[in-house]
Chain A
Amino acid sequence: MLAHYLDLSVRSFKRTPMTTLLMIIAIALGIGVTMTSLSVYHMMSMDPMPHKSSKLFHPQLNTRDQGVNWWTQDDLPHQLTYIDAKNLYQADIPALKTPSVKTGYSVHLNDDQIKPFMETVRLIDNDFFTMFDMRFIYGGPWSDESDNSGELVTVISAELNDILFGGENSVGKQVFFDKVAFRIVGVFDDFDYHVKFYDLTNGAFNQNEQVFIPFSLIEPLEVNNWGNTNGWKYEDIRSFQDKLNSELVWLQFWVQLDSPEEVTSYKNFLTNYLTEQATLGRFERQDVHFDLKNVMQWLDYNNVVTEDNRVVVGLSFLFLAVCVANIVGLLLGKFLKRVPEVGVRRALGASKRQVFMQHLVEVSLLGLIGGTLGIAIAQLGLWGVRSTYSYYDALATMDLSMFLAAPLIAILACIIAGLYPAWLVCNTNPAYCLKTQ
């Protein structure tokens, strides 16, 4: 029967091409606008690592004097001081963990072949590669010994490897960051995370770093961080050592906790740590205040989905509602003209349900066509977004789920639009056809 209903729908479209076209345009515009904003929203709010995001945690510590307020909603700083990052890093806890901070260097090979260029560089522990599922095309992470000894080793991106070495296996080769020569131990495959969730400080959707070096190099190389540095009290900071010893927050930290027990024991550890720091007289607080947020909580806390986007998504759906109302109007006109025919069908034994289904199939087909056209309009919209705001390049695209969602939402919208008109026609009195003459 479905095939028959589809056949009838196509005939119906052919009979009233103008109305059909208007309805398709209405739903296509509605879907186009909605999918443009929804796709951006979807990419912004999507879990970057669904299998692991609930196990990776970012701690936040309140190491300020009682009564000093931060500007965040829970009064906790986003980042850590060097003292805390180092202490958490060196704590004897059997879990994958890494401090993390961004800097930048001029990259070159100390020859005339390649003009030096700037790259962002991230300092991490080698646990980072495991925790964030980084894949290597050549070599691998540096060793634990390199982490401890501060050896000048690096892992670079495939993209950078292409520029520097034409894509060949560069493991063992030298690369210069500013004046310092590093030995390449690994080349990692491109990140496919659309959100830079491990460091949201300077924008959640920036490109990931192309270079990774051991965190332990921070002191010997006197690495200046790129990103935010925030303080809460006056400190006369003149040297790099002053900064390391200060209460400025400027580092990120991640820890992987695989079970609720591990989370509990890590929280106990943080409680003890903060109590101990207070006892040492570093700050004056009565209560212990910290938080441990997993990836999705972290994204939410940092408002990764922008308010503007939420507003536009909301307005788009309201717009879709207008399109639906429009289609209802057109369908009423179209279906009511068909009352005599429906009367005949009813007289010939069609049940209300069959008539109702026939009309719902017709509007669904309308939705499918409109939704598909809507995808094209959404692509145009997303192109507009990308050309206005290149920062959204990775976000203003439709992934598979959005490609599927578009026709589904369209069909659903059309069915909603079709319910009342279809109900009206299927309640046509079949005796009507005897009286038309």
Chain B
Amino acid sequence: MLTMQNVSKVYTTEKVQTHALRDFNLEVNEGEFIAVTGPSGSGKTTFLNIAGMLETYSSGQYLLDGIDIGRLSDNQRADLRNQKIGFIFQGFNLIPDLNIFENVEVPLRYRGIKSAERKARVMECLEQVGLGSRLKHLPQQLSGGQQQRVAIARALAGRPRFLLADEPTGNLDSLMARQVMELLEKINQEGATIIMVTHDPELARRAPRNIQVVDGQIADFSLYQKQLAGTEPAVAEV
């Protein structure tokens, strides 16, 4: 359902060109749970931004459900994002002025869903993450783990088929991180495709499929195998 072929992203400033992604190829199938790892500056986040249509790419082709993203306008991308994709950020990124209920409601509002249905869906999603009783709280009144669960509920509210998570446990202690991970696994089992960027090898290991990004490219898996066999020096820790 997600196909990237030779996708490249070049940032051009006045003096230098930086290749954030180069000839990036990836095929993701329905229902997969993929962990993306790689060193800082390797292009993980750029990949996630492009996958989530937050950024455009410089060349190559990206198909989502058969739709060629490169041909879409900004508004069409916004709509598609709203319908198909849920985001979970490392910093939670809850809107501080809005209470829990309203935060989860945001993507539904942009989709133009009627008030009654919005309410039902928000409640459903908050129940799902175990926060059904804290509707009126503001984000800063919750713990980090609770905030991230709100963010997950918000990502789920639009019933996306794709969840993109950027270091979802990066700001959490290990207990909370595990709870969040379990929640993601449950969501995956219920049918959503998840791509998760992480630094945490333990978390990555729990994902059925791992991808390592190095220098804007997926590290050659065969090479990776050789590393494990000890014939080549390790490129990066997995």
**Do any CB atoms of chain A lie under 8 A from CB atoms of chain B in the complex?**
yes
The answer, yes or no, to whether A345 is at the interface (CB within 8 Å) is yes
Instruction: Report yes or no: A437 in contact with B54, Cβ–Cβ below 8 A.
Output: no
- CB-defined interface of A283-300 with B at 8 Å, one 1/0 digit per residue? 000000000000000000
B residues 56-101 near A (Cβ < 8 Å) are 74-75, 78-79, 81-83, 87, 89-91, 93, 95-98
* Chain A contacts with B in 335-355, Cβ cutoff 8 A: 340-341, 343-354
**Nearest CB of chain B from residue A427's CB, rounded to whole Å:** 9
Cα distance, A345 to B107, chains bound together (Å): 8
Question: Given the complex, which residues of A lie within 8 Å of B89, measured CB to CB?
Answer: 344, 433-434, 437
How many Å from the CB of A28 to the closest CB on chain B? 25
Q: Once the chains bind, are B90 and A437 in contact (CB under 8 Å)? A: yes
A379 within 8 A of B: no
* B contact residues around A115 at 8 Å (CB): none
Is A51 an interface residue when CB atoms closer than 8 A count as contact? no
Q: Count A interface residues, CB 8 Å.
A: 28
Instruction: Pick the residue among B54, B79, B95, B111 that contacts A430 (CB under 8 A).
Output: B54
Is A12 part of the binding interface, using a Cβ–Cβ cutoff of 8 Å?
yes
Let me know if A11 is at the binding interface, CB within 8 A. yes
Contact A437 B170 (CB under 8 A): yes
How long is the Cα–Cα vector from A319 to B48 in the complex, in angstroms? 49
Specify the chain B residue showing the minimal Cβ separation from A344.
B93
Q: For A10, give the chain B residue with the smallest CB separation.
A: B97
Map CB proximity to A onto B165-179 as digits: 1 under 8 Å, 0 otherwise: 011001100000000
Nearest to B52 among chain A residues (CB) is A347
Is B74 touching A434 in the complex (CB atoms < 8 A)?
no
Question: Do residues B109 and A1 form an inter-chain contact, with CB atoms below 8 A?
Answer: yes
Q: Which chain A positions have C-beta within 8 A of B91?
A: 433, 436-437
A228 at the interface (CB under 8 A from B): no
Chain B residues with CB below 8 A from A349, complex form: 78-79, 81-83, 107, 110-111, 158
Main DSSP-derived SS at the A contact region: helix
Chain B residues with CB under 8 A of A12? 97
Contacts of A341 in B (CB 8 A): 95-96
Chain A residues contacting B55 (CB-CB under 8 Å) are: 429, 431
Among B55, B75, B110, B171: residue with most chain A CB under 10 A: B110
For the complex formed, measure the closest distance between the CB of A386 and the CB atoms of chain B, giving whole angstroms.
45
Q: Do the beta carbons of B97 and A348 come within 8 Å of each other?
A: no
* A345 and B89 alpha carbons, distance in the complex (Å): 13
Whole-angstrom CA separation of A424 from B221 in the bound complex: 43
Within 8 A of A (CB), among B162-215: 166-167, 170-171
Q: Confirm or deny: A238 has a beta carbon within 8 angstroms of a beta carbon on chain B.
A: no
Is B78 touching A351 in the complex (CB atoms < 8 A)? yes
Shortest beta-carbon distance from B84 to chain A in Å: 9
* Shortest distance from the beta carbon of A334 to any chain B beta carbon, whole Å: 13
B45 close to A (CB within 8 Å): yes
Contact B95 A431 (CB under 8 A): no
Q: How far, in angstroms, from A87 to B109 measured CA to CA in the complex?
A: 78
Q: A352-B75, A354-B110 known; A344 and B45 CB under 8 Å? A: no
Is the Cβ of A347 less than 8 Å from the Cβ of B75? no
A1 proximity list for chain B (CB < 8 A): 109, 112
Evaluate contact between A347 and B87: CB separation under 8 angstroms.
yes
How far apart sit A431 and B107, CA to CA, in the bound complex (Å)?
Answer: 16
A343 to B110, CA, bound (A): 14
* Chain B contacts for A344, CB-based, 8 A: 89, 93, 95
How far does the Cβ of B135 sit from chain A's closest Cβ, in whole Å?
Answer: 16
Contact with B along A398-437 (1 / 0, CB 8 A): 0000000000000000000000000000000111011111
A interface residues with partner B (beta carbon < 8 Å): 1, 4, 8, 11-12, 15, 340-341, 343-354, 429-431, 433-437
Other A-B pairs, 8, CB within 8 Å; known A348-B82, A348-B154: A1-B109, A1-B112, A8-B97, A346-B54, A347-B54, A349-B107, A349-B158, A437-B167
